[in-house]
């Protein structure tokens, strides 16, 4: 193990609110401990290309409430091209970075897991609006996305009620229905559809008709972008895969909206929330979680505990082996989904 004097920090994958809280916390704590900090631009892409920026008290001042990431991000996967892994190692060597902190979701931290296995001194911090990383109760970014979606559902309620319409709201989350479930419960959705349970069109239409028959002549349907009909794959807006093999999901809302309208005869409109869920200022919860994650990650570096990811378990921030965090996807707790179902129809 090399003693750490110089720390590299990068943010990779889809951005999310709270990343700047982490950057600020890591920088402040590292400087307090006497370390130099270099920001790596645009995730693994910057590590390959050697694009960096110095981080100091000045550069992280005022960034706490800002969405996005001041370091930039990318979905670059160095393991797509063996020469890129070599270039990444060369950057680490040339800059004399003794350790790296990588902030990301399953893809960015998947790369971190491999690099750690190959001997790089690295610590991971889990982020994603999708909340689908294993071994942590929450990732930061998720709470903000849920609050944005909840507010959208509140707004859809008033227009749905005025026009006696069905409103379908499509939310993000990839193959996990966390945003749909939590925003749906918080916003009082009448139906919530998630990738974890195939869509049963007849059952949904029956619920909506029964609801309308009892005088509630408007309905809110929240659908996760990854939700699908039995036997069908998730609907995609683009087949082309990114460097980690993901297609771009989206389109289930419009498909579902037209089917519901056909089958129920009720006028239906569709809203796709898209990247609104990822932009803007983080909630207090995400700022606090990001700050705690950032501080803990630096503590791990100072203790020489590499190959770990920081994680929230209960109300404690702990360290778990990176491969445990990235080995499987954390899908929706079906007990929580059962609670949501009590309010369907």
Least distance from ligand F6P to the Cβ atom of residue 237, Å = 9
Which residues are CB-contacts of 277 (< 8 A; sequence separation ≥ 6)?
Answer: 129, 145, 148, 149, 171, 172, 179
Q: Does residue 122 bind ligand F6P (CB under 6 A)?
A: no
Residue 191 binding ligand F6P, by CB under 6 A: no
**Dist. CA 21–CA 48, nearest whole Å:** 25
Which tokens go with 74?
């990318």
Stated as kind and residue range, the H or E segment containing 299 is: helix 284-303
Instruction: Give dist(CA 41, CA 99) in Å, integer.
Output: 16
Does residue 14 touch ligand F6P according to CB under 6 A? yes
Residue with Cβ nearer ligand F6P (121 or 128): 128
Among 29, 157, 174, 330, binds ligand F6P (CB under 6 A): 174
Does 172 engage in binding with ligand F6P (CB under 6 A)?
yes
Query: Interface with ligand F6P by CB under 6 A: which range of 93-101, 166-174, 208-216, 257-265?
Result: 166-174
Q: Which of 130, 143, 190, 286 is catalytic?
A: 130
Nearer residue to ligand F6P within complex by CB, 28 or 127: 127
In whole angstroms, what separates CA 17 from the centre of its chain? 9
For position 177 contacting ligand F6P by CB under 6 A, the verdict is no
Residues 255-284 that bind ligand F6P (CB under 6 A): 278
Tokens 């378990």 -> residue? 313
Residue whose CB is nearest to ligand F6P in the complex, by number? 172
End-to-end Cα spacing for the chain: 59
Nearer to ligand F6P, 8 or 105 (CB): 105
Main-chain dihedrals φ then ψ at residue 318, nearest 5 degrees: -125, 175
Does residue number 173 form part of the binding site for ligand F6P (CB under 6 A)? Answer: yes
Distance CA 249, CA 242 (A): 12
Contact status: 67 vs ligand F6P (CB under 6 A)? no
Distance CA(43)–CA(30), nearest Å, equals 20
- Whether 154 is catalytic is no
Beta strands, E only, the chain = 6-11, 36-40, 52-55, 99-104, 122-126, 166-171, 191-193, 219-224, 236-238, 248-249, 268-272, 308-313, 316-321
Determine the interface stretch with ligand F6P among 17-25, 126-134, 201-209, 286-294 (rule: CB under 6 A).
126-134
- Based on CB atoms, which residue is closest to ligand F6P, 161 or 242? 242
Which 23-42 positions form the footprint of ligand F6P (CB under 6 A)?
Answer: none
- Could you count the other beta carbons within 10 Å of the beta carbon of residue 57? 11
Which of 92, 249 has the CB closer to ligand F6P?
249
Nearer to ligand F6P, 187 or 226 (CB): 226
Contacts (CB under 6 A) with ligand F6P, residues 273-332:
278
Q: Tell me which residues are annotated as active site.
A: 130
- Residues in contact with ligand F6P by CB under 6 A are 14, 105, 128-130, 172-174, 225, 248-249, 278
């Amino acid at each position: 193990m090399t003693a750490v004097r110089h720390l590299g920090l990068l943010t990779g994958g889809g951005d999310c609110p709270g990343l700047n809280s982490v950057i600020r916390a890591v920088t402040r704590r590292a400087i307090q401990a006497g370390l130099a900090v270099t920001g790596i631009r645009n995730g693994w892409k910057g590590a390959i290309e050697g694009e960096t920026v110095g981080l100091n008290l000045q550069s992280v001042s005022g960034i706490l409430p800002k969405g996005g990431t001041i370091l930039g991000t990318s979905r670059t996967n160095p393991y797509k091209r063996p020469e890129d892994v070599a270039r990444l190692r060369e950057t680490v060597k040339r800059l004399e970075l003794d350790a790296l902190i990588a902030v990301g979701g399953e893809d960015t931290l998947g790369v971190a897991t491999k690099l750690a296995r190959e001997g790089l001194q690295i610590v991971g911090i889990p982020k994603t609006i999708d909340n689908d990383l294993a071994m942590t109760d929450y990732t930061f970014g998720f709470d903000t996305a849920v609050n944005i979606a909840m507010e959208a559902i509140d707004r859809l309620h008033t227009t749905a009620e005025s026009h006696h319409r069905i409103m379908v709201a499509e939310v993000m989350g990839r193959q996990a229905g966390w945003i749909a479930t939590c925003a749906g419960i918080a916003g009082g959705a009448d139906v919530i559809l998630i990738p974890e349970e195939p869509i049963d069109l007849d059952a949904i239409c029956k619920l909506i008709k029964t609801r309308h028959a009892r005088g509630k002549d408007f309905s809110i349907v929240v659908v996760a972008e990854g939700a699908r009909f039995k036997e069908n794959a998730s609907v995609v807006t683009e087949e082309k895969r990114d460097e980690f093999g993901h297609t771009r999901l989206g389109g289930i809302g419009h498909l579902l909206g037209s089917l519901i309208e056909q089958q129920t005869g009720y006028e239906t409109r569709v809203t796709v929330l898209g990247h609104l869920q990822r932009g803007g200022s983080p909630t207090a919860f995400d700022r606090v979680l990001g700050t705690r994650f950032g501080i803990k990650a630096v503590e791990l570096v100072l203790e020489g505990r590499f190959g770990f990811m920081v994680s929230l378990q209960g109300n404690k921030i702990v360290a778990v082996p990176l491969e445990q965090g990235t080995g499987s996807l954390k899908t929706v707790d079906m007990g929580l989904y059962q609670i949501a179902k009590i309010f369907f129809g």
